[in-house]
Amino acid sequence: MEILIDFLAVLSLLFSIIGMINNKYWLLLICAVLVFPFSYSLSSALNLGAFIFLPLFYLGSAAALFTNNRSVAWLVLMPVFILAFFLLTIVFVFTSGAK
């Protein structure tokens, strides 16, 4: 089940990039739905409620893109990319076998 949740999170990142480049705000709304299971599992695994707000970044970015404000849309979506880069770095460091 965790593989499906991670796949949906990666898919939401790809859709968000496509949506931002092509000015499709509805793709960002789909991303908010796709990232919700990942956000919920991450918040329950770390015992933090802050990650449940991850879909709100997609919704805020979709709202900014709807009003043709691309720079604000990219800025609102930036914490999602920072978190993805942070988690990807953790995975690579712990699976590299470095001692």
pLDDT, one tens digit per residue, over 1-42 is 778 888 888 999 999 999 999 999 999 999 999 998 888 888
Residue 45 is predicted with a pLDDT of 67
Q: Within 13 Å and on the Cβ side, how many CA atoms surround 62?
A: 17
Query: What is the 8-class DSSP label of residue 96?
Result: S
Question: Where in the sequence is the domain holding 18, given as residue range(s)?
Answer: 2-95
- Concatenating the DSSP letter of every residue in 15-69 gives HHHHHHHTT-HHHHHHHHHHHHHHHHHHHHHTT-SGGGGHHHHHHHHHHHHHTT-
Domain count within the chain: 1
Residue 91 is predicted with a pLDDT of 81
